[in-house]
Chains A and B, each alone.
Chain A
Amino acid sequence: MKLINKTQRIYLGLIVILLLVLSGIFLYAISWSIQENIDEALHSELKLRVEQYRQTDSLQPTSSIHFAVKRLPKISRSGVTYSDTLLYNSVEQENFRYRQIKKQIAVDGVFYQITLRRSLVESDDLFYTILITELIFMVLLIAVLVVLNRKVLQRLWNPFYQTLNQITHYRIGSSQPVNMGETKIDEFQRLNNVLEEMIAQVEKEYKSLKRFTENASHEIQTPLSVINSQIEVLLQQSDFTERQWKSLQDIYRSAGRLSRLNRALLLLTKIENRQFTEHKQVDISIVLNNFLDDYDELIKQKNITLTKTIEDKTIITGNPELVELLLRNVLSNALKHNMNGGRLDVCLLDDKLHAANTGPEPKTDVSHYFERFYKQDASSASLGLGLAIIKEICEASSFDYSYTFENDLHVIEIMF
């Protein structure tokens, strides 16, 4: 859940609870106060009347809404009692609420009960008016708070979101200077400073790593070039014995292998180090079709049945060099380990590449295939790096990949 929303939720929850509790107390106090008011008025009136009767000696049994006198056989209760009661009003034809006060007195040896009543209708109305006003007030308060709160939070957290945005778009080695911006909030300023430092450090290390891999490659290739070229010069002399030729051949082949190995390993390292950062739109259907054309004669020569379903204009985002390498490796893997008269299915649909080929049955779990240097046939001339390269490229480019063996077919699938 987003920070602002969570903050608001908690805040609002607390405020609502608080408001409810306080309003409850407030309304109760009002209601109590109103009642107290009426009760005091009733009490005052009662005292007045009782005084009157004591002085004038005139007390007649009567019964009306506001004033009732009843004769009692005896005094059963002392003191004054307050209570609420409902009385039916025949004109309005409904019941109304009244507050009444009762007192039992003795006048000249005769016992009476005096009841005084006041209508609660007005005070009830007053109470409900207060209640509704209170509710509206609460709702408005909460609404305004929500809006203000949200705005304030957004303003305050803005630098944070800017920083977050910058980091999200940061790519190592893209050589774009990163400026996290200035902010007055201490914590965010500190965050920005730390991040800028960290990025500077990372960039430095990355550059030196890049330089290292490039220099290492150069250093290794140079003596290899010497070996290769000297052998080629040697080859031109025709006065060798067969055994000498064989030795030369072995040296030549091994040097060639070393060379390819070095290049492939270097490539893997570069991919791992995310040195291929430039991303572009690539139409892989074109690349695939070109490769299949390239390999056309080879496919015919090996009598391989090719079935291709390639959706035109399949455009994905990736590093062009890597994508090309990936496709080439997938195809060459499918061809190299294929048998004469075998088959190759290439299907590109919905940004998914499906390449299936016939080939020798796997001796181990196919997940091993992606390990570097893993070769089913240890003596073959292949480097065993093809699938490792595929794996690295996919992981660096966030493509999903899988390799399965089903229905006697080796199947590679890549989801772009």
Chain B
Amino acid sequence: MKLLIIEDETSLAESIRQYLQEAGNVCEIAPNYNKAHLKIHIYDYDCILVDITLPGGSGLELINELKKNHSEAGIIIISAKDSLDDRIKGLELGADDYLIKPFHLSELNVRIKSLMRRKQFSGNRKTQVGDLIILPLQKKVLINGDQVDLTAKEYDILNYFITNTNRVLTKEAIAEHVWGDHYDMVDSFDFIYVHINNLRKKIQQAGGDDPIETVYGMGYKFVER
């Protein structure tokens, strides 16, 4: 997949690029308005990450331009601004999603993947990882042909893992994904722990190998078996 990262904070842009490239994506970076403006007019991208506050112009104008040129790229806004008004404005202009900084790279990854899935109706009707088959449109999980019975939150967590296969995911990241911004309001970490255990049990009961590794107490890693 080809991505454009429009972000003026080089360190952040680089870490995003690194994370996404590891999954086989091609990423370009545009650190200011002018360079971004140039790139979007010359090249086509599958997905564009836009920071609203840019030197030389506003990310929102870039979104406008993209929409004017009937670009089919998926647009995700990454911004430090956390107000409802900005969210609404961004989405009204034509962005597909809005992520607030700071975010987990794994979360960004999931958002990009699900955006791409929405955009390319034809692709990804089925994802296979190891002996797990996931049908995202029906939210079903099959192991060796047998369906695994998962609760909505368990499915969500599993999906999150699979999208970030072989990456270390922190408990915070998982909790934030499941609960949203307010994950710190409840004892979500115990909750996550219980759910991951349930997930493991269910997968094993259905005949699969436990694909989730615990990493040094900090988090979990989904490993293809």
Contact = CB atoms under 8 A, between A and B. Distances in A.
Given A328-B182, A328-B185, A383-B184, A236 B104 contact: no
Contacts of B219: 235
A398 interface: no
Contacts of B80: 217-218, 221-222, 225
A28 B84 CA distance: 82
A233 interface: yes
A256 B172 contact: yes
A321 interface: yes
Interface in B103-156: 103-106, 151, 153
Nearest to A329: B185
Interface in A289-337: 295, 297-298, 301-302, 321, 328-329, 332, 335-336
Interface in B193-223: 194, 215-219
A321 B84 contact: yes
A218 B16 CA distance: 19
Interface stretch (A46-54, A77-85, A112-120, A241-249): A241-249
A123 interface: no
Interface bracket on B: 35 or more
A222 B12 contact: yes
Contact of A222 (B101, B168, B191): B101
A224 interface: yes
Contact of A386 (B84, B185, B187): B185
A263 interface: yes
Contact of B9 (A226, A256, A386): A226
B92 interface: no
Nearest to A249: B218
Interface string A359-396: 00000000000000000000001110010000000000
A275 to B, nearest CB: 9
Interface string B69-99: 0000000000011111000000000000000
Given A222-B9, A297-B151, A298-B187, 10 more contacts: A222-B12, A228-B102, A229-B102, A229-B105, A232-B104, A238-B168, A248-B218, A252-B218, A298-B188, A301-B190
In the A-B complex, list the 8 residue pairs whose CB atoms are closest, starting with the nearest.
A332-B185, A225-B102, A221-B80, A229-B15, A218-B80, A225-B101, A245-B216, A228-B102
